[in-house]
Amino acid sequence: MGDHFKTDIGQLEQFLTSLERCVDELNEARSALDHVRADQIGTARLDEACDKFQEEWKYGADKTKEMIDAVKEGVKSNKKGYEEVEHALEKVLKQIADQSTSGGNGGGK
């Protein structure tokens, strides 16, 4: 069964970095438009459309950031769990190896 499921903790870390980069890039894109005011663009109708777009963009970007943050927390939690299992397994296997090399009978025989 173990042959069918493998977790690469390094890849989880890369995924976290990618998620963080997505949030940064989303914020940068929104910030790039912050200094452009709708009244600088042209007609009243175009100004109004730009203002509406800015509001919706901010709302969507904030919601996207919330979802990405939730995914990041889940991935961090899973990564921590996998690391804990790895360390516990490593410790147990080391104890078994130490017992077998130190002449311990391990089975009470």
More reliable by pLDDT, 21 or 105: 21
The gap from C-alpha 4 to its chain's centroid, in whole angstroms, comes to 24
Angle between helices 44-101 and 9-34 (to 10 degrees): 160
Whether the CA torsion 8, 9, 14, 18 is positive or negative: it is: positive
Domain boundaries, the chain: 16-97
Please give the model's pTM, rounded to 2 decimal places: 0.59
pLDDT tens for each residue of 6-63: 778 888 889 888 988 888 888 887 777 666 665 666 777 877 887 788 788 888 888 8
